[in-house]
Amino acid sequence: MTTEHDLIQMKQKGALTDDEFLKALTQLQIKERKSSFWSDPEKARKKILFSIALLGIFSVLAGLGLIIAANWASIPAILKVGGGLSCLATSLVITSFFKNNSKPLWMEAFLFISFLLIGGNIALIQQSYHLSLSWQEGSLAWWILSLPLVFFTKYRLIPLCSVALLGFSIWDIIWNMNYMLVAGLMFVLMMLTHFFKGSFAKLLRDITFIAAIFCLYAGDIIANSGAGMVGVITTTLFLIFALNTPKTEDGTVKYYNYIFLLVAWRIFLLFWNAYYNLTNIGILLIVFGIILLAGAGLYTYYFKQIQDFIRGFIKHE
């Protein structure tokens, strides 16, 4: 069987080119990974024992869970809450252990378990002490208490769940706001990510973009008006054009120009909605037209600077 040493010797003698060497080395490593489990009896034994141990732990915990469920009503509230908090504390300690021992996947797994246990403990406390928390209030408490976990994870799962919790907890406030205002705030936040660094900026930009588009669709559909239908159609056309831009520097610049165009169009639709409530729509349209003309002039004059600003987003892509 050819070994890695053999491949190195063949390359040094000129029997293999660089590309052939890399291809052969890659195939050898893949083959070794596939066969290493059974070719190393000790490693196989440890993995089998580990799997059996995990199954045993799961069986014990499942049994305890069934016993607790059967006698739930007779367990004092303080023991229920104490047990829940102990599970959370244990999960956090295990998370810290794996972090200190450079086991990132295990750390992330127990970090997410801790995130879920925070919500579970809030529900447990409410049920045990008969508190009158609403779903929104419980979600807000869960978001506040779990927020520190967001700064330790390197994956998107917990941040996305955290954003979903925050959105649900303040849904009543958002619902009573004009959906265009909410979408506008999301757009401003998306633009502000230009000044952040690293993958977090890309994640935040994706979240705010999706939130803004969701607000536009939801608001347009619920509005059930002519402007709403036009909004749904034009936003869909925007997504078709914008999301099909090439994944290149020029494509990214074109993509953000589509966003600016959509923003201008959505502001114009605001005046259409105002037609039913304002008698001075003509004056408002004139003002908006002047603003658009001024914006177009500034865009033309500062075209290079604006394109350079847009290219700043590419460092996060």
User: Predicted confidence band at 89 (pLDDT cuts at 50, 70, 90)?
Assistant: very high
User: Predicted confidence band at 306 (pLDDT cuts at 50, 70, 90)?
Assistant: low
Rounded percentage of the chain residues whose pLDDT exceeds 70: 72
pLDDT tens by residue, 18-32 = 777 777 777 776 666
Q: What is the pLDDT of residue 253?
A: 77
Distance from CA of residue 286 to its chain's centroid?
Answer: 41
Give the number of other CB atoms < 10 A from CB of residue 302: 12
Query: Residue 101 burial (CB < 10 Å; 0-12/13-18/19+)?
Result: exposed
Measured CA to CA in angstroms, residue 299 lies from 118, 176, 252 at distances of: 49, 34, 17
User: Predicted confidence band at 276 (pLDDT cuts at 50, 70, 90)?
Assistant: very low
User: Predicted confidence band at 277 (pLDDT cuts at 50, 70, 90)?
Assistant: very low
Average pLDDT over residues 90-99: 90
114, 88 contact by CB (below 8 A):
yes
Average pLDDT over residues 147-166: 83
AA letter at 17? T
* Phi, psi angle pair for 208, to nearest 5°: -70, -35
Most confident of 41-55, 108-122, 165-179, 213-227: 108-122
Task: Between 148 and 313, name the one with better pLDDT.
Answer: 148
39-48, 54-63, 133-142: least confidently modelled range = 39-48
* Domain parsing of the chain, residue ranges: 75-159
pLDDT tens by residue, 196-250 = 666 777 777 888 888 888 888 888 888 777 777 888 888 888 888 887 887 777 7
pLDDT tens by residue, 255-264 = 878 888 888 7
AA letter at 54? L
138, 102 contact by CB (below 8 A):
no
Average pLDDT over residues 89-97: 91
Tokens of residue 155, six digits: 């994956």
User: Predicted confidence band at 316 (pLDDT cuts at 50, 70, 90)?
Assistant: very low
